[in-house]
Amino acid sequence: MSLAGRSLVTIEDLSNGEIEALFSLTDEMAESREKQAGVCQNKIMASLFFEPSTRTRLSFEAAMHRLGGNVISAINIGATSLAKGESLADMAKVVGSYADIIVIRHPWEGAAKVVADYAGVPVINAGDGGHQHPTQTLLDLYTIYEAKGSIRGQRIALWGDLKYGRTVHSLIFALAKFGANILLCPSPGLQVPEYVLKKLTAEYGGEIESGKAIEDKGKGSPLPLDAIYMTPSRPHQLAMMPDISLEVELEKEVDALYVTRPQKERFAPGEDRAMEKKFPVVDKKLLEGKAFKRTLVMHPLPRVDELAYEVDADPRSMYFKQAAWGVPVRMALIALLLGAKKTDTKDNGSPKAKPDYPPYTHNLTLACSNSACVSIQETEIKYLKPEFKIIDRKPLTLRCVYCEHEVQPPYIASSQWHQGMLENRKYHSADSHWARTIKPENLIVFPSASKAEDSGFKPSQYATSPARKTVEERGGEEGV
């Protein structure tokens, strides 16, 4: 396998087989570190950390040094030209001319993709805001593999800040890729974002049980359950009987408990009030429950007060091993992306390929709904325009290509209005049948009626309520 020249922006940039092959190379790196000193000799890694970091930054730099390479770094955004108003694209091009590979952490969601698009060298995302942290996920998966031998069928509980925790967002998709069942145990007000859950079920299959079913059947659970994702690899009999399936899942032991701290640096003003409600701490008493007899206790670190120090001495605690494995995992990744190492990839039944969603091409007035998205933050700089994929038609849903947040615009139109006559240049409600019949290349969306009218469109009879007629019934009155 050759990953030479590729970037790692999200965990989905690697197939299951590529991840497992990377783990085989990680074993080699861990067992014979002294033999790796010349693997990346004369190569330079640029370490760009524009948010605080200890483990991730040092493990990347230690990994490069152990491979015999060199490191150049920038760790304070205020001391770089970005503080002067330089664009990420310009910075990426310049740094890409200095280094052979770039590792970047940035507070803007989607920033790593922008750097990867413009650098001209492999780029590794070391965390982009609350979006993803794929290399943390790689060492998380490696930790489970080392301890359990497999991920398929494992029951992994995700605990804490599931809203802003970028490590959790990467891990959810990776666990689904490998066929795990996921127990969601968020802190109050910090549930998994809806766009993450929708992507999870739409692209990885499986089912999410939540709401009253969890409340009724999960009352005796030691976990503060909010929802359960059940992999599509469950036995057919259980899939036909969801209530029985849910009961079976709730009665099983937890294979790994993944604890995260509240990401207060990303909270909206006043959002920390959600943390005022007492939330269970993972401590010795909790782990005495029968559901945790063989549970791995994991944490990406740093911790605050969500994980008691008394757990450190427990043989089930894995978080310091997780951190230590960050070096050989990142050694293997750097070596593969630089083409210094190759390894065999086996087709192990990876899930179906990512859907080929059509791009939204008429970006007249649409902006991403996420204020932390790089496309919003760099609006002053003309090179970067919002980009979206059309991922659903009912309801009409567009996904930002940078941060993956979703937008559901209220109004739509076609760029091919009937007979090219201006009086037929009309806009419609996104709830109408036009959202499903206008061709993707002709679709225009508007955030408001006023934006549609500013663009020269007039309201149709379907501009305020869902259509009740099909295209055939209307006689194809508008070219779509």
Q: Which domains does the chain have, with CATH numbers?
A: 11-129+323-337 (3.40.50.1370), 135-322 (3.40.50.1370), 359-459 (2.30.30.20)
Give the confidence band of 418 by pLDDT, cuts at 50, 70, 90. low
pLDDT band at 250 (very low <50, low <70, confident <90, very high): low
Round to whole Å and give the CA distance between 171 and 144. 12
| Per-residue model confidence (pLDDT) at position 29 | 93
Tokens of residue 146, six digits: 């080392």
Core vs surface per residue 309-318: b (16+ CB within 10 A) or e: eebeeeebbb
H helices present in 149-274, as ranges? 166-177, 194-204, 212-217, 236-239, 242-251
**Least confident window among 92-101, 328-337, 388-397:** 388-397
**Rounded mean pLDDT of 373-402?**
88
Q: Which two tokens stand for residue 9?
A: 């922006």
User: What mean pLDDT do residues 158-163 have?
Assistant: 91
> Could you tell me how many residues make up the chain?
480
Phi-psi region of 10 (alpha: psi -120 to 50; beta: other; left: phi over 0): beta
For residues 126 and 251, which has the higher predicted lDDT (pLDDT)?
Answer: 126
pLDDT on residue 475: 39
pTM higher than the cut 0.85? yes
Burial of 28 (0-12, 13-18, 19+ CB in 10 A): middle
- As a whole number of angstroms, the distance between CA 317 and CA 469 comes to 60
Quick one: pLDDT at residue 472? 34
CA-based torsion, 236, 232, 190, 314: positive or negative: positive
The edge-to-edge listing of strands for the beta sheet with 396-400 is: 359-360, 388-393, 396-400, 406-407
| Residue 165 and residue 159 in contact, taking contact as beta carbons nearer than 8 Å | no
Mean pLDDT, rounded, of the chain: 84
Locus of tokens 């890729």: 177
User: Which pLDDT tens digit goes with each residue over 293-329?
Assistant: 999 999 999 898 889 999 999 999 999 999 999 999 9
pLDDT of residue 354: 67
Amino acid at site 340: A
Q: Is residue 110 within 8 Å of 402, Cβ to Cβ?
A: yes
Query: Can you tell me the mean pLDDT for 282-292?
Result: 88
Write out pLDDT tens, residues 165-174. 889 999 999 9
% of the chain residues with pLDDT over 70? 82
Token output for 352 = 């179906």
Confidence of residue 380 (pLDDT cuts 50, 70, 90): low
Q: Can you read off the two tokens belonging to residue 210?
A: 């939540």
- pLDDT band for 291, please (50, 70, 90 cuts): confident
pLDDT confidence of residue 215: 63
CA 154, 21, 102, 321 dihedral sign is positive
